[in-house]
Amino acid sequence: MQDLENTQYFKVEVEPENGVKMILSEVYEALSEKGYDPVSQIVGYIMSGDPTYITSYRNARGLIGRVERDELVEEMLKEYIEKNHWKR
């Protein structure tokens, strides 16, 4: 039975420097070049896990498949927090 009295901690293994950023950048560019809305497509992929949201153009689907979806969310959230100066 689960202990509901304590907060669970979630720790993501650290990806090599700029690995996730590079992959997101490559995927974003490939989606843009193919005429898709990259934000909508990446969100669709993260929410569903369905790789068909990502084009296979420039191996974008293969690249994004190398990264866990929670790592993508973590990287985007970290960037958003830093950009908005929320970091302590």
pLDDT of 46 over the 80 cut:
yes
Average pLDDT value for residue range 45-62? 97
Q: Quick one: CA torsion of 23, 42, 72, 20, rounded to 10 degrees?
A: 10
Q: State which of 11-25, 50-64, 73-87 shows the largest mean pLDDT.
A: 50-64
d(CA 81, CA 3) in angstroms, rounded, equals 31
Q: Quickly state the pLDDT bin for 2 (edges 50, 70, 90).
A: low
State the pTM of this model: 0.76
- In whole angstroms, what is the distance from residue 9 CA to residue 35 CA? 39
- The pLDDT value recorded for residue 12 is 63
| pLDDT greater than 80 at residue 9 | no
